[in-house]
Amino acid sequence: MELLEHGDRRRRKCEEALEVKSLRRIISAYLNYPDASEDDIRHNESSFRKLPPAHKSLLSHLPLKYESLRRCISVNTYFILNMLQAFEPPLDMNMDVDLYDHQLLECCQDEHHHRHDGGFLDSHHGSTGETMSRSIIDPVVSNIENDLMPKSARETTNPEGEQLPVLNCKPERGEVGSGATEPISSQESERQVRAVDSNGNASSFSCDWLNSSLQLNVPLVDVDKVRCIIRNIVRDWALEGQVERDQCYQPILEELERLFPKRSKESPPCCLVPGAGLGRLALDISRLGFVCQGNEFSYYMMICSSFILNHSQSVGEWTIYPWIHSNCNTVSDEDQLRPVSIPDILPASAGITEGFSMCGGDFVEVYSDPGQEGIWDAVVTCFFIDTAHNIVEYIEIIWKILKDGGVWINLGPLLYHFADTYGQNEMSIELSLEDVKKVALHYGFTLERESTISTTYTTNIRSMMQNRYFASFWTMTKKTANKSTEMHDA
């Protein structure tokens, strides 16, 4: 018995160590953003220097553009640092993960399959055509409840139930700086990162939690994820993203209104949004009068959504430059360098329904819990079902967690996220739309409505390249309990 408990504790610690490692890597990716972006500019400058003088003089404005890009990066960094400062990690970031290094391997081998990704997979790339690949293993389900939840549900404790330390990264405002972002030096014991706000005021962030473990040189693909997040912010939280939200979120919201015309305040219907990204759809569903829960397994996303949902003070509080990282398909430098203000609405006063929450963790692990069975009136998946290793498993879980008569609204393509992970031995079941629907019908779903929606995903509306999806949009209803029993007995 004692041996078992010891084994359990060891395993828990191992899992925690893995998650801490993964979270450190994600924070490092955010912190490496200015460095990596500066490298890109230097590369541009180096190409410029190689030009023959006659060509250089034709393009004499480019050095100034590179300086402008630097300022934009600094402003993006300012946003990122403020976001990290507000982040309260649900784990003890000071944990000595090296203690567990030899056990981690065993842990990984024991796990049947690590479906978690500390990063997020986003093959629904925007106009730049970048594809993200899975790189971090993060096998522990962590339920990071959002601040919009009652306090008791979100207080972060370690497995022993103690309150955990909070990342403490204080900006020292008002210092006059060069405006450029200063890279994080690996020599300093207390790191200083500088960034400027959109008015050109420099702040120096001294991060005492930024110990040696947090300045890993992360792979560039991790920093790409940060750039991807910046584009996702436009989709969810900028006026410019309204075009995409009208294409993707609006049809879902209208369908929910149609299906639940009498939403009572006393007993509002419950709606789950797996793969909620930066949380806007979940928030808008909550505003309609649903008790809505977003589920998301990427810390990249959760750190950012938590910041916008819980810490926004005013509309347009932040400025970011989302389009600076691609020099391709731009009509003008002005387009590329245009600022975007966020957020376009203030979540705290947006009229959410009580009970709104964001739940961190892998959809399969969190919602396979027997306690989740038959409790949701609606499940909304938007650009989500193709993130599965096994899409049948997703459908099965959605079926189980819905109440009898509950609805599943789906909108998205079938760009299977694990489809091109050749050689990595990642499981990937890639079904056609017809087969996906067949599987759903097999479980007992009834197809109520179906159409195709033409939409983009995190696309720069002024780009010369616009990737367009002809996304499938459907509403399915869960049939009676009898049918469900038959199905699972079969």
Among 277, 289, 343, 406, binds ligand SAM (CB under 6 A): 277
Output 269 or 279, the one with its CB closest to ligand SAM: 279
Q: Is the dihedral of CA 13, 19, 23, 28 positive or negative?
A: positive
Q: List the one residue out of 236, 261, 411, 375 whose CA is nearest residue 312.
A: 236
Binding mask 381-400 for ligand SAM (x = CB under 6 A): -xxx--x-------------
Is residue 319 within a helix (H) or strand (E), and if so which, with residue range?
A: strand 318-320
Kindly state the smallest distance separating residue 277's Cβ from ligand SAM, in Å. Answer: 3
- 78-86, 198-206, 297-305, 330-338 -> range binding ligand SAM (CB under 6 A): 297-305
Kindly state the smallest distance separating residue 244's Cβ from ligand SAM, in Å. Answer: 8
Kindly state the smallest distance separating residue 457's Cβ from ligand SAM, in Å. Answer: 7
Residue 136 phi, psi dihedral angles, 5° rounding = -120, 140
Q: Is 238 helix (H, G, I), strand (E, B) or coil?
A: coil
What is the radius of gyration, based on Cα positions, of the chain?
A: 23
Residue 226 burial by Cβ neighbours in a 10 Å radius (0-12, 13-18, 19+) = buried
Kindly state the smallest distance separating residue 396's Cβ from ligand SAM, in Å. Answer: 14
- 366: which residues sit within 8 A by CB, 6+ positions away? 141, 143, 295, 359, 372
Output 205 or 290, the one with its CB closest to ligand SAM: 290
Residue 246 phi, psi dihedral angles, 5° rounding = -65, -35
Kindly state the smallest distance separating residue 193's Cβ from ligand SAM, in Å. Answer: 26
Among 82, 142, 295, 460, binds ligand SAM (CB under 6 A): 295
Q: Is the peptide bond before 343 cis (omega within 30 degrees of 0)?
A: yes
Exposure string for 285-301, b = 16+ CB within 10 A, e = fewer: bbbbbbbbbbbbbbbbb
Q: Does 363 bind ligand SAM (CB under 6 A)?
A: yes
**Cα–Cα distance, 211 to 203 (Å, whole number):** 20
Among 274, 322, 406, 444, binds ligand SAM (CB under 6 A): 274
- 116-124, 207-215, 308-316, 474-482 -> range binding ligand SAM (CB under 6 A): 116-124
Output 15 or 122, the one with its CB closest to ligand SAM: 122
Q: Does 301 bind ligand SAM (CB under 6 A)?
A: yes
Q: Does 124 bind ligand SAM (CB under 6 A)?
A: yes
Residue 451 phi, psi dihedral angles, 5° rounding = -155, 175
Kindly state the smallest distance separating residue 274's Cβ from ligand SAM, in Å. Answer: 6
Number of residues that bind ligand SAM (CB under 6 A): 22
- 11-19, 70-78, 174-182, 275-283 -> range binding ligand SAM (CB under 6 A): 275-283
Q: List the one residue out of 421, 441, 433 whose CA is nearest residue 471.
A: 433
Output 116 or 194, the one with its CB closest to ligand SAM: 116
- 20-28, 96-104, 201-209, 289-297 -> range binding ligand SAM (CB under 6 A): 289-297
Exposure string for 182-201, b = 16+ CB within 10 A, e = fewer: bbbeeeeeebebbbbbbeee
3-state SS, 198-235, equals: CCCCEEEEEECCCCHHHCCCCCHHHHHHHHHHHHHHHH
Q: Does 77 bind ligand SAM (CB under 6 A)?
A: no
Q: Is the dihedral of CA 126, 457, 35, 361 positive or negative?
A: negative
Kindly state the smallest distance separating residue 248's Cβ from ligand SAM, in Å. Answer: 6
Q: Does 283 bind ligand SAM (CB under 6 A)?
A: no
- 3-11, 82-90, 326-334, 361-369 -> range binding ligand SAM (CB under 6 A): 361-369
Among 25, 225, 235, 437, binds ligand SAM (CB under 6 A): 235
Output 18 or 276, the one with its CB closest to ligand SAM: 276
| β partners of residue 475 | 409, 449
Among 275, 322, 347, 444, binds ligand SAM (CB under 6 A): 275
Residue 112 DSSP symbol = S
Applying CB under 6 A, the residues found at the interface with ligand SAM are 120-122, 124, 235, 248, 274-277, 295-298, 301, 362-364, 382-384, 387
